[in-house]
Amino acid sequence: MDDKELAEELRLTIGRLVRTVRTADTMPPGEAAVLGYLDRGGPLTTAEIAARRGVTHQSAAKTVKDLLAQNFVRAEAHPGDGRKLLLHLTQTGRDRLAEERRRRSDWLGAAINDVLDADERRTLEAALPLLSRLSTHLHGK
């Protein structure tokens, strides 16, 4: 398999795995994505969330409104621009995100246990640093 074929197979396989694991989610993908951004990167504005998600400001604003109503995020005036709101993850939101992540991990972990033998699990574990390096490299570009 040449590099282009390997890259395409990797893209397809990881994409299918991610989509499949997300079926375990119980919250809308947009909401989970916003909570994840806030958890990993700290407070953001609605415009920053829209840019990260690649959606319109209106779409991000609707998601933010839903998250505010559920007390998963809180808004405060932006310290550098009072016209903007800075969104923070609440403890309720952090707990809800942890629950979603735990559900995904449990489901994937059960599949790993059901499908892979010990040698295959070690091979998968050995591949994780490689996948992480690829991700880091691509993210930096």
Q: Left (φ > 0), alpha (ψ -120 to 50) or beta: where does 43 sit?
A: beta
> Phi then psi for 44, rounded to 5 degrees?
-140, 160
On whether the CB atoms of residues 102 and 53 are closer than 8 A, the answer is: no
Tens-digit pLDDT profile for residues 57-68: 999 999 999 999
User: So what's the pLDDT on residue 121?
Assistant: 97
Whole-model pTM?
Answer: 0.81
Main-chain phi, psi angles of 81, to 5 degrees: -155, 100
